[in-house]
Amino acid sequence: MTTEPLNWIKSSYSGSNGGSCIEWAPKHAAATGEVWVRDSKNPDGPHLTLTADAFAGLVAFAKSQD
């Protein structure tokens, strides 16, 4: 079985100053239902595995911080 490298996408809510930067893997989420989130400053580090509902909650929280 061949596995493709994950395509990580930087969140539009990530700061441009190098601070709070998160990325997620939308193709993996679509294929598995698991939403992976990681710190873009540490791409080889761990990632969080969220449900779609938990990810929606994270996005709602980020929007509320504007």
CA dihedral 24, 51, 56, 17 (to 10 degrees): -30
Angle at 14 between CA 19 and CA 6, to 5 degrees: 110
Could you give the CA distance from residue 19 to residue 59 in angstroms, rounded to a whole number? 17
Confidence (pTM): 0.75
User: Does the residue 11 lie in any domain?
Assistant: no
Count structural domains, the chain: 1
User: Does the residue 4 lie in any domain?
Assistant: no
**Could you list the residue range(s) of the whole structural domain that residue 48 is in?**
22-64
Per-residue pLDDT reduced to its tens digit, 9-28: 987 656 666 566 889 999 99
Q: Average model confidence (pLDDT) for the chain?
A: 83
User: Does the residue 56 lie in any domain?
Assistant: yes
User: Does the residue 3 lie in any domain?
Assistant: no
* Position 45 confidence tier, pLDDT thresholds 50, 70, 90: very high
Cβ atoms 6, 25 nearer than 8 A: yes
